[in-house]
Structure 1
Amino acid sequence: MKHLRLLLVPVLATFLALPAAAEKLSLNTLSNYFNSFETAQSRFTQINADGSKSAGTLYMRRPGRARFEYDPPNEALVIAGGGQVAIFDQKSNAGPEQYPLSRTPLSIILAKRVNLAQARMVTGHGTRGTDTVVRARDPQKPEYGSIDLIFAANPTRLIEWIINDPSGSKTRVILSNFKTGGNMPASLFDITLAANRR
């Protein structure tokens, strides 16, 4: 019996050293997190389905405004402002492609008052390891695919999202050095101004 106890000691020590199972953050906690700030800025790394990578800076100004500014030599730019999302393609001389913000999952986190528990686009709420995952999609446009918003705890923060294409491909956007607060000029989110400058 003594030998059995001696054998179990390292096993129990290893088990006790393992992190506790992840407890997912509630939708109310995540909503309060977004509602706690108006502006935020973060570096991001985008990993495309083909394995190619690009990086840039994300600017957010709630309600309704965001800017994804890619680092050179990539000249792509995505702006949410004035109720629209505009995608500027570096390979096109035409104007930006535009979509109503309300038809994109960005509208959920850029709302004046975020309430994930009542957002009709939220279709899933679970965990990935120690992180919490919220899945969103437009129920009227399932062909647009879905987005997984991934949050870490202690403190609560948005760390990544994954865009799931209907074809099965995924694009990851990993956030780093996410900082809230600070002044951001309205010109950062002006689609017309950005179009005139390109």
Structure 2
Amino acid sequence: MNALKRIISKPVAAAIFGAATLAVPASLAVPEAPAVASTQANDLDRAVRALRAITTMRADFVQTDRAGNALRGELTLRNPGRIRFEYDGDTNMLVVSDGRALTLVDYDVSQVERWPISNSPLGALLDPDRDMRRYGTLQSSGSDNVISVLVRDPNRPEFGTITLIFQENANAPGGLQLASWVALDSQNTRTTVRLRNHRYGMSVPNSAFTYRDPRRSSRRPG
């Protein structure tokens, strides 16, 4: 198993998967003027609405670890709670959520690992009970066309953090397109996922969020 596969076999990293979170700027660490606070609240609400406005989506992704190793593939999302990461090339793995748990399937070693959605940074994307308004903090993006939201549960630091990056796009649900995210687990494992070629509104069957269990196919007949 190569170094990147060892990284993404870690529980929180399987949430697509550790990346450096943005430090909270000093300007956000102190009380804001009412007009600034109102603008920030509005941007946070816009990000929440845009995320929840997605019914189905497909996009190409590039997943990069701290060392710069990259994996590519296609993401399929269906709200609420379902996601699939189909990897290209010789990366014989699959990451899938059925709305309850996130599952990492490694076909090379016939291994399956599962974690509750709420225990991973991807809970901010997939868990309908995760209130991004409560756990999200608007970050300075340096651009009027970009909204950056850091999501963490201060009472559960072991779940890690995820920073969601949205870009203005009139063709995306809610007028904002999820462009990328960065996740950081409690062991400081970092992963960045960048999306492109977004497509929305297609029919996605339940079978897209299932998987072939390699543990069954690898057993010898009794």
* 1:186 partner amino acid: N
Q: Point out where structure 1 has 5 or more consecutive residues left out of the alignment.
A: 1-22
- Percent of matched pairs sharing the same residue: 30
After superposition, residues 44-193 of structure 1 pair within 5 angstroms as: 44-94=61-111, 96-112=112-128, 116-118=132-134, 121-122=135-136, 124-130=137-143, 131-155=146-170, 156-190=176-210, 193=211
Bigger relative contact order, structure 1 or 2 (CA pairs below 8 A, ≥6 apart): 2
**Bigger mean CA offset, 140-149 vs 67-76:** 140-149
Q: For residues 137 and 92 of structure 1, do their structure 2 counterparts lie closer, same or farther at Cα, with a shift above 3 Å needed?
A: farther
Q: Tell me, in whole angstroms, the C-alpha distance in 1 between the residues paired with 2:68 and 2:204.
A: 32
Q: Partners in 1 of 2:85 and 2:45 — Cα distance?
A: 27
Structure 2: how far apart are the matches of 1:143 and 1:113?
Answer: 18
More deviation, 30-39/65-74: 30-39
For 1:33 and 1:114, the matched residues in 2 are separated by 15
Residues 161-170 or 150-159, more deviating: 161-170
Q: Tell me, yes or no, if the aligned pair for 1:42 and 1:57 is still in contact at 8 Å.
A: yes
Q: Which secondary structure does the structure 1 equivalent of 2:178 belong to?
A: strand
Distance in 1, matches of 2:55 and 2:81, equals 10
Equivalent residue pairs, number: 170
1:78-97 superposed Cα distances (whole Å, 9 cap, x missing partner): 11114010011244223x11
- Cα gap change, 1:179 to 1:127, in 2 (>3 Å): farther
Contact residue 42 and residue 58 of structure 1 kept, 8 A = yes
Q: Secondary structure at the match of 2:133?
A: coil
Q: Which residues of structure 2 form unaligned runs of 5+?
A: 1-38, 171-175, 218-222
Partners of 2:158 and 2:148 lie apart in 1 by 21
From the superposition, tell whether residues 107 and 165 of structure 1 become closer, same or farther in structure 2 (CA, over 3 Å): closer
1:171 deviates by: 1.0
Give me the whole-angstrom Cα distance separating, in 2, the residues matched to 1:170 and 1:50. 9
Structure with higher Rg: it is: 1
Normalised by the length of structure 1, the TM-score is 0.75
RMSD over aligned CA atoms reads 2.4
Contact 1:105-1:138 at 8 Å conserved across structures: no
Return the letter of the residue paired with 1:35: R
Relative distance call for 1:143 and 1:82 in structure 2 (3 A) is closer
In the alignment, the residues of structure 1 paired with residue 185 and residue 127 of structure 2 have an alpha-carbon distance, to the nearest angstrom, of 24
Q: What SS does the aligned partner of 1:50 have? A: coil
